[in-house]
Structure 1
C-alpha cells in the first residue's frame, strides 16, 4: 500500500466527506446538504477536541472517521474518546485503510490522555463488529438509543421538570 496520511478535515473537504457518508455501505445515499454540512462543521469547531479526519493516499481521500475527546469529571478527571463515522471508500475496503485510521484515532486519544476509546455499531453490521474486535475492542455493556428523543416527557409521571438554560 502507498503511504497513507491522516489529517483533520477542513470546510473545503465537506463535498468529499458527504460523498463518503453517502456510500450505500455506510448511509445508503442519505446525507445532509452542503449548506447543512457547513453549519454542522462550524458547530463541531466549537468543541475543543472534536474533528472529522481524512485518510489520503497520494492526495486522494480514501476514508474518514470522526473523533471526539470528551473532558470528564468522573474517572479521576481523565477524558474519554468517542469514534464515529468510520468510512473507507468503496473499492478501497479490505486494504488496511480502516485499521490505519483506527490506529491514528488511538494515537490521538492517547495523546489527549483518554482512558478509553468507545464506539458503537449497528446490531446487524457483523462485518464492522469483526473489524472492531480484530482491533482489540470488546463488546461491553449495552448501547441504547431513542429516535427521536421525546422533548416533553418527564422522568417520572407527575414529576415536573424545569430545564434551566445557561444564561450568558
Structure 2
C-alpha cells in the first residue's frame, strides 16, 4: 500500500460517517448517525474525551477514544480508559493501531495519568497480541459488564 499522506488528528463532525462505518466493522452493527452526531457534540464539550482518527490519503483508517478519569485513591493520579480501538481491515498490519495507541498514551502522559486501562473481548486473540507488543500486560483482574 503506497501512502501519500497520513496523519493523526482529532475526529471532527465531518468524519462521523466514516467513523460510524469503522464502528460497524468493529461491532457488526450500525448506529443512527443523528444520534452519533448528538453524542459527539456532548463529547466535544467535555475536555476529558479524546477521540483521535488516523487518516491515510484523506480516508479514516482507524480511531481510538481515551477518557481521562480523576481518582481519589493513593496519590490521586488520574487514569485513562481507552475504548473503541479500531483499524479498518484494509489498513491492518501497517502500523496504524500502534500509532493511534502511542498518540493516546502521549495524551495520558501529558495529563499525568498513572495508568491506562481497557477491556478487550476474550476471543480477540490477535488484538491481545498487538496490545502485548505495545507493553500492555494482561492484568490479573477480571472485567465485568452488565448490559442495561
**TM-score for the superposition, normalised by structure 2:** 0.91
What residue is the counterpart of 1:156 in the other structure? none
Larger Cα Rg: Structure 1 or Structure 2?
1
Residues 83-162 of structure 1 aligned to structure 2 (within 5 Å): 83-140=82-139, 141-148=141-148
What residue is the counterpart of 1:79 in the other structure? 78
Q: After TM superposition, what 4+ stretches of structure 1 lie above 6 angstroms from structure 2?
A: none
Residues 16-95 of structure 1 aligned to structure 2 (within 5 Å): 16-23=18-25, 26-28=26-28, 30-95=29-94
RMSD, matched Cα: 1.5
Aligned partners of 2:51 and 2:66 also within 8 Å: yes
Residue-by-residue CA offset, 1:82-132 (whole Å, 9 max, x unaligned): 111111112110111101111111111101111101111001111111111
Higher relative contact order (CA 8 A, sep 6+): 2
Q: Please state how far the C-alpha of 1:31 moved relative to its aligned partner.
A: 2.3
Cα distance in 1 between the residues matched to 2:142 and 2:103: 26
Aligned partners of 2:15 and 2:60 also within 8 Å: no
Q: Judge which range, 100-109 or 65-74, deviates more.
A: 65-74
Gaps of at least 5 residues in structure 1 are: 149-168
Structure showing the higher helix proportion among its residues: 2
Match of 1:6 among 5, 8, 16: 8
Q: Please state how far the C-alpha of 1:46 moved relative to its aligned partner.
A: 3.6
**TM-score for the superposition, normalised by structure 1:** 0.80
Q: Decide whether aligned partners of structure 1 residues 146 and 110 sit closer, same or farther in structure 2, where only a CA change above 3 A counts.
A: same
Q: Please state how far the C-alpha of 1:13 moved relative to its aligned partner.
A: 1.3
Cα distance in 2 between the residues matched to 1:108 and 1:66: 11
Give the number of aligned pairs: 145
Cα distance in 2 between the residues matched to 1:33 and 1:75: 41
Aligned partners of 2:24 and 2:31 also within 8 Å: no
